Amino acid sequence: MSERMTGAQALVRSLELEGVTTLFGYPGGVALPIFDALYDSAQVHVLLPRHEQAAVHAADGYARVTGKPGVVLVTSGPGATNTITGLANAYMDSVPMVVFTAQVAQSVLGTDAFQESDITGITLPITKHSYLVRNPDDLAETIREAFLIATTGRPGPVLIDVPVDVSKAEFDFVWPEHVNLPGYKPTVRGHIKQIKQAAALIAEARKPLLYVGGGVLASGGWKELKELAELMQLPVATTLMGKGAFPEDHYLSIGMPGMHGAKYTNFAITDTDLLIAVGVRFDDRVTGKLSAFAAKARVIHIDVDPAEIGKNKTVDMPVVGDAKQVLAGLVAELRKADAEPRTEGWMNAIDDWRRQFPLHYLHNTEEIMPEFAIETIQRITRDRKRVITTEVGQHQMWACQYIHVTEPRTWCSSGGLGTMGFGFPAAIGAQLGAPDHLVIDIAGDGSIQMNSQEMATAAINGLPVKVVVLNNGYLGMVRQWQELFYGHRYSSSTLAQDCPDFVKLADAYGWKGYRVSDPALLEATLREAFDAEGPAIIDVRVVREECVYPMVAPGGSIDEMLGGVPGGPVSDMLDDDLIKEVWE
């Protein structure tokens, strides 16, 4: 049955029918008809950020924590272009999102009208799909399609551009019960022949290893992953995007691989004979020198996006399909074959490397080491329901190393794009999505200033997020690279530790503000801040020139790492008895 309404009202009705309850929006001229219609919605709560980029990051954090698509509404021109970084971030990290941009009237499109931008053209490479709605009759069907595309196959952001004459026009609204998208049929079920062959490779392998990324979380396949790992006693390496897909306190977990991975993790990948890559894209920050990455291994690559198979790494056994379904298929085939684990010697070798080459840092009783700060956060919050978000930089890598994520969808970090300024608005979205969780953004003093205006958003909306700033007075990762590769020439990477004064900034926004520089007072300060009712920021003054180790030099092989426990290439690390045990 049809109902007479405006395009703006139809847009809001469509959101309600899609089950949307939270929208991140910033109004402006041509978006006003839609915001006016939202004013009447009893279902859709609008969160007003202080910048459109933050709106998209907040929607991103909300989507990662809830598994639901994030929804954003902004105006035309600068409002639309301010979403670019957020869209690119979501696209790189495969986060489901539907972003509405208002547009000037169709009668002036292409005339350089006030606040006109070709947003569908600009965002073409960083969206899964985009629409320019030219007829109100197409609006509901377009929205249905957008939600379907954003959330199925490999998730990603979809943009819908709505000219103001479309949102103002009256028409007969009809909600389409079904979506028909010829040509869009993501392959969800893996081919059974390939699954059988992959299962046979796993059953035969002596040194197999699961290399797991965000695709497992996107598919909801963490239960099946754990079942496979335990059935065949497979060590599991989780990427930055895969943290939470497998509990990091599990004895089979070997942490994050790559540029700042532990030595034992990278040694294991270097020496594995079967790499089972699930929902990963062989990112260069993980692989380092690609020709040396898992060079001894046959490779099974499971991914819902066929374009990822073989893109960076030659694959022996491709399986295109949803990670959850393919992992379930592998477990079924291995059980049917009564496959037994053969990895006792392999796990002994990895455990031996783990003992020899743990993550470590020099302890300091005078100043706070950044690693110590992260370890303290981990220790005092590990038994609480929590979500950790991060900005991008040294603190992000230390968080990857020392925060052990044990539950899916409780970790939000910018992986592919590496967006400074992501973590804090993502924490706001995460807090909305998980209101009963302690949400902590681990930040640097550089990155927090890229979206610190959102302290107003958290305060006004009563969102009790906590921001821990590891304040070293530098753009820390830039400084580290300048120290290691540019002869200590700190060009444009030095900040002022006291500007801004984060405690006074907290006071200005109605937050709790803390500063701590004494290691002996760190735990008590963090506990007080985490237990505070409202939002709080903790300015943690840390050792200024600490580096994140171990580190793989750009373009280097991942088994040749700088820093950390003294060592060398994995070929020099293998104990003769262990080699014999593993191979024979």
First to last CA, the chain: 72
With both helix axes pointing from N to C terminus, report the angle between 84-92 and 52-66 in degrees, rounded to the nearest 10: 20
> Is residue 118 a contact partner of residue 109, using CB atoms and an 8 Å limit?
no
Per-residue model confidence as pLDDT tens digits over 40-62: 999 999 999 999 999 999 999 99
Q: How far apart are CA 221 and CA 409, in angstroms?
A: 12
Beta-carbon count within 10 A of 448 CB? 29
Distance CA 287, CA 514 (A): 39
Q: What does the DSSP 8-state code read for residue 56?
A: H
| Integer Rg of the chain from CA | 25
Q: Which residues of the chain have pLDDT under 50?
A: 567-574, 578-579, 581-584
Strand, helix or coil at 554?
coil
Confidence (pLDDT) at 565? 55
CB 530 within 8 A of CB 381: yes
Tell me the C-alpha distance between 271 and 292, whole Å: 10
Structure tokens at 458: 């958290």
- Which residue, 488, 536, 494, is CA-closest to 515? 536
Q: Where are the alpha helices (DSSP H) in 288-322?
A: none
> Residue 532, SS3?
coil
In the chain, the amino acid numbered 239 is T
Contact in structure between 419 and 392 (CB atoms under 8 Å): yes
| Alpha carbons 15 and 252: distance in angstroms, whole number | 43
Assign 3-class secondary structure to 149-212. HHHCCCCCEEEEEEEHHHHHCEEEECCCCCCCCCCCCCCCCCCHHHHHHHHHHHHHCCCEEEEE
**Could you tell me if 73 and 146 are in contact, meaning their C-beta atoms sit under 8 angstroms apart?**
no
8 A C-beta contact, residue 432 and residue 463: yes
Looking at residue 564, what is its pLDDT? Answer: 61
The two three-digit tokens of residue 170, written as one number: 């009256």
Dist. CA 115–CA 111, nearest whole Å: 11
User: Which two three-digit tokens encode residue 69?
Assistant: 């698509």
Do residues 112 and 68 lie in contact, with contact meaning Cβ atoms separated by under 8 Å? no
Q: What single DSSP character describes residue 533? A: S
- Would you state the pLDDT for residue 194? 97
Backbone phi, psi, residue 315, to 5°? -115, 140
CA of residue 466 relative to chain centroid, distance: 19
Rounded Cα distance, 499 and 244, in Å: 35
DSSP, residue by residue, 345-410: HHHHHHHHHHHHS-------SSSB-HHHHHHHHHHHHTTS-EEEEE-SSHHHHHHHHH----STT-
Distances in whole angstroms, Cα of residue 131 to Cα of each of 47, 128, 158: 24, 11, 8
- pLDDT, tens digit, 9 for 90 and up, residues 108-126: 999 999 999 999 999 999 9
